[in-house]
Structures are given as C-alpha cells and as structure tokens.
Amino acid sequence: MVAVVCRVNLRMNEQIFQACKELIDDAKNGCADLVFKEICLEILSRARKVLTERQFKKLATYAAQKMNEQMPFELRERIVVDR
C-alpha cells in the first residue's frame, strides 16, 4: 500500500514539475523581461513547497537558463509596438 502511494506522489510531483517548466516557457514567450523574471520568482516560490529538493533544484536551474536567454527579436518588437 505504501509503495502505491509513493508511486502516485512521485508521478504527481513529476506532473507538477513539468507544469512549472511549461509555465516558465509560456512566460518567456509572452512577457517583457522584467515581468518574466518576476513570474519565474513566483513560480519558484510556490514550487518550493510541493516539489522534491532535487526537482526544485532542476527547476531553479531551468528558470535561470531561461532568464539568461535573450528575448526573441519578434517578441521585443511586438512589446514595443503594443506600448
């Protein structure tokens, strides 16, 4: 019984981990740089409470990599035009 519960929790944590990565990707593609960073910090803050330590470290590394990526030119252009 305990093994079944552990497997369910592991699968659930993995789904949450993937969802967090998708949220980070969506924010990267749809937000200005400063807003994106703020969203990442919020995601990480909430993820810390539900992910394992290993998953959280992976997510934090993933977010840091995304923060260091340059915003695509087309998106920068769109944000400037929308203002």
> What's the pLDDT tens digit per position in 36-83?
999 999 999 999 999 999 999 999 999 999 999 876 655 555 555 555
The dihedrals phi and psi of 27, each to the nearest 5 degrees, come to: -65, -40
Question: Using 50, 70 and 90 to split pLDDT, how confident is the model at 9?
Answer: confident
Question: Using 50, 70 and 90 to split pLDDT, how confident is the model at 1?
Answer: low
Query: pLDDT: is 7 or 18 the higher one?
Result: 18
Residue ranges per domain, the chain? 2-82
Q: Are 29 and 67 in contact (CB under 8 A)?
A: no
Query: pLDDT: is 33 or 77 the higher one?
Result: 33
Q: Are 59 and 44 in contact (CB under 8 A)?
A: yes
In the prediction, which pLDDT does 69 show? 85
